[in-house]
Amino acid sequence: MKIALSAQPPFYLPSVVRSHGWIQLSPFLADDHTGGFTYLIQLDTGRVAEIRIQEAQGGVSVAVDSPLTPKEQSEVSSKVAWMLGLDQEFGTFYALAHDEPKLAHIVSEARGRILRSATLFEDVIKTILTTNTLWSATIRMNRNLVEQFGASLPADPARIAFPSPERLAATDEETLRSSTRLGYRAPYILELAHRVASSDLDLEGYKTADIPTLELRKHLMAIKGVGPYAAANLLMLLGHYDFIPVDSWALKMVSHEWYNDEPVGKAQVEAAFERWGQWKGLAYWLWSWSYNG
């Protein structure tokens, strides 16, 4: 079956897909031919479905591999709308960026939306897996999690959805350390799964919580394994752009852009984008950097 979903204009699906590296992480699978992607989603009923997302007039078309009940259709529609930020509007940011050459591309390419997973639980885990490691290791750890603990698509057992909190909570730290090879992240992932599965932590509620960014940041940083960098990334995914996810790449980019490759710190990165106020994280994210080494 197919579901049509509309998006706030301007919208360009390939810009969302290419917004960061999530498209390289299971259960995402890029479709280079259409500029869209497929994704394995585990519904609230426990059922696993494959969804194929392509751009359509005014939004996207969502093809599902099998019929859905009305409740399942509503869930898929809601989660795809969240994943793509279909209701997000960037007019204020576009106006601020109008005269900045380094952001001249953002309107024509409909940039601003950042690809999300179906659940914030998945996004928090993936973000933790990016810390203090190479991207290749992030891909490996995420793939191990999916293959070892995710539920399979009935029609193709090789296709697997991201693990549910309940499934991860049922494992143990030693398995996550040695078999899944998460290293020091293992207890963080396990505790997060326990807290979400037991309803001690309502991560999904943060998607619509009407609370100030600083308070939301405190909630995120109360999650073990989430420090300032990870919290800034998660805030961006939640549509809060007040903080910059400063890592070694950010330091290198800012050093080359404004400091003649001299060493810089977090303060210099923050200062470089301070004038963008509540949009500084997004301005940093979409900046057209001169460094290409």
For residues 144 and 179, give the distance between their C-alpha atoms in angstroms, rounded to a whole number. Answer: 8
pLDDT in tens, 274-290: 999 999 999 999 999 99
Percent of the chain predicted with pLDDT > 90: 98
- Please state, in angstroms and rounded to a whole number, the distance separating the CA atoms of residues 220 and 94: 28
54 phi and psi angles, rounded to 5 deg: -135, 155
Same domain, 67 and 126: no
Supply the range of the domain harboring residue 18: 2-88
* Dist CA 115 CA 216 (whole Å): 20
pLDDT at 88 over 70: yes
Q: Is residue 100 one of the residues assigned to a domain?
A: no
Whether 233 and 261 share a structural domain: no
For residues 151 and 193, membership in a common domain is answered with yes
Q: Are residues 216 and 257 in the same domain?
A: no
pLDDT for residue 66: 87
The mean of the pLDDT values for the chain is: 96
Within this chain, do residues 213 and 194 fall inside the same structural domain, yes or no? yes
Per-residue pLDDT of 240-279, as tens digits, reads 999 999 999 999 999 999 999 999 999 999 999 999 999 9
Specify the pLDDT at position 251: 96
Q: Are residues 140 and 84 in the same domain?
A: no
- Report how many domains make up the chain: 3
Task: Specify the CATH number for the domain of residue 146.
Answer: 1.10.340.30
Q: Same domain, yes or no, for 130 and 226?
A: yes
Looking at the structure, do residues 69 and 142 belong to the same domain, yes or no? no
Q: Report yes or no: 216 and 209 within 8 Å, Cβ to Cβ.
A: yes
pLDDT tens for 14-71 read 999 999 999 999 999 999 999 999 999 999 999 999 999 999 999 999 999 889 999 9
Whether 113 maps to a domain, the answer reads: no
Examine residue 108 and state whether it is found in any structural domain, yes or no.
no
Residue 115 inside a domain? The answer is: no
Q: How confident is the model at residue 291 (pLDDT cuts 50, 70, 90)?
A: confident
Residue 107 is assigned to a structural domain of this protein: no
131-182 residue pLDDT tens: 999 999 999 999 999 999 999 999 999 999 999 999 999 999 999 999 999 9
**What's this model's pTM, rounded to 2 decimal places?**
0.96
Same domain? 138 vs 212:
yes
**Band (293; pLDDT cuts 50, 70, 90):** low
Percent of the chain with pLDDT over 70: 100
Say if residue 259 is in the same domain as residue 216: no
Burial tier of 22 (Cβ tally within 10 Å: 0-12, 13-18, 19+): buried
In the numeric block, which tokens belong to residue 141?
Answer: 């750890």
Could you say which of 88, 107, 129 is where a domain stops? 88
For 101-122, how does the pLDDT look when each residue is reduced to its tens digit (9 = 90+)? Answer: 999 999 999 999 999 999 999 9
97 located within any domain = no
CATH number at residue 47: 3.30.310.20
Same domain, 75 and 137: no
Alpha-carbon span 280 to 31, nearest angstrom:
31
Residues 148, 223: one domain? yes
Q: Is residue 137 part of a domain?
A: yes
Residues 6+ apart with CB under 8 A from 293: none
**Final residue before a domain boundary, out of 45, 66, 88:** 88
- What does R_g of the chain's alpha carbons equal in angstroms? 19
- CA neighbours within 13 Å on the CB side: how many for 53? 29
| Residue 142 included in any domain | yes
